[in-house]
Copies of this chain bind each other. A is one copy, B any other.
Amino acid sequence: MAPVKVFGSAGFTNVARVLVCLEEVGVEYEVVDIDFLAKEQKKPEHLARNPFGEIPAFQDGDLMLFESRAIGKYILRKYRTDEVDMLRESNPGEAAMVDVWTEVQANQYNKALAPIVYECIIYPTAYGIPTNQKVVDESMEKLKKVLDVYEARLSKHKYLAGNFISFADLNHFAFTCCFMGTPYASLFDSFPCVKAWWKNLMSRPSTRKLSANLPKMV
């Protein structure tokens, strides 16, 4: 069978969100590079995959998907086994906690942490735009408050949704990995349970393999 295809480069955090799911379930895949700076994602060939002209897109036979969280869930649902069950949809209470902390990643954690990654790494290296320190400082204040909540949660549970690893944890991988390459990584030292969770997450073969692709400070 032809492997599934991921359209978008492995160095993009939203692409990495999909790849980490594929690595976890152990499915063969092909990454089809899309030249973002040349705006290949806005050309008709890619707009047929994602009408909003963004990456990633994902193909499994006749099925074409976009939106990285939706793709990740599809992969984890289709290739679920008793050993790798990261959505827990057969248990409404567990599945709900996966959904809660997946939403928290999008609506709280990433809104605080992603601007720091953009300002310190992505804007300077990809576009030559200097770091806006005011944005970094404000985001750091927000991130501290978010990590207070995470610390309380992870002092009671090994993973975000409970004592099982889930899609909610995997979602944190790419942006946090980039953040750890900024001068602000030591913030996590003040949150021992969060730091232990992160170290545990980064000890997985999937995250170790994919972290090499992610952008770093120059």
Partner-B contacts on A (CB < 8 A): 51-52, 63, 65-67, 69-71, 73-74, 77-78, 89, 92-93, 95-97, 99-100, 102-104, 106-108, 146, 149, 152-153
Contacts and interface: CB of A to CB of B under 8 A. Distances in A.
Contacts of A97: 65
Nearest to A78: B92
A176 to B, nearest CB: 18
Given A63-B96, A67-B104, A78-B92, 15 more contacts: A52-B146, A65-B96, A65-B100, A67-B103, A67-B107, A69-B99, A70-B96, A70-B100, A70-B103, A71-B96, A74-B99, A77-B89, A77-B92, A77-B96, A106-B106
A108 B152 CA distance: 32
The number of times this chain is found in the oligomer is 2
Nearest to A104: B67
17 contacts: A51-B152, A51-B153, A52-B104, A52-B108, A52-B146, A52-B149, A63-B93, A65-B96, A65-B100, A67-B99, A67-B100, A70-B99, A70-B102, A73-B95, A74-B96, A77-B89, A77-B92
Nearest to A89: B89
Closest 3 CB pairs of A and B: A70-B99, A67-B103, A74-B96
Given A51-B149, A51-B152, A152-B51, A96 B73 contact: yes
Nearest to A51: B149
